[in-house]
Amino acid sequence: MRRLTFTEKKRTFEAVAVLASAPAARLDAEQFLADNRRYWSIEGGFHQRLDGAPAEDKSRVRHRNSAYLLGLFRRLAVSLAADWIARHPGSRQASTHDFFDHLSYDNHRAAFALVLDRRPTLSTPS
């Protein structure tokens, strides 16, 4: 694959090697760029959510099993937040922080209901 690079006064092409499991016939430059952007948008968005509201980077848990379980619960919370956000299209109250605020509303009633109800929902509080 060739990549165009710019310096102050000239343009140059450089060869770039790509290691991929996709067959070469399917992986032209446009398809590679689309796949690469899709991967990083998912990767970046998920990690941004993990680092933001649940403060995963600030965790002081050091025991291997505890860190693993806490990570699973954080990822579950981020997945629930993503579903909750998707149900609020165009709303200014649709972020991971807003989801955690929603769960803590009225003494964490929504969070306990989400865990303990037979048919839990992520509806907005009334």
pLDDT at position 51 is 67
Task: Dump strand ranges (E) for the chain.
Answer: 2-6, 11-15
The reported pTM is 0.52
Closest by Cα among 111, 107, 106, 123 to 76: 111
pLDDT at position 76 is 84
Is 44 a residue whose pLDDT tops 70?
A: no
Note the pLDDT tens digit of each residue in 81-102.
888 888 877 767 677 778 888 7
pLDDT at position 37 is 80
Is 55 a residue whose pLDDT tops 70?
A: no
Q: Where are the domains of the chain?
A: 2-20+27-89
Please name the residues in contact with 56: beta carbons below 8 A apart, sequence gap of 6 or more: 50, 71, 74
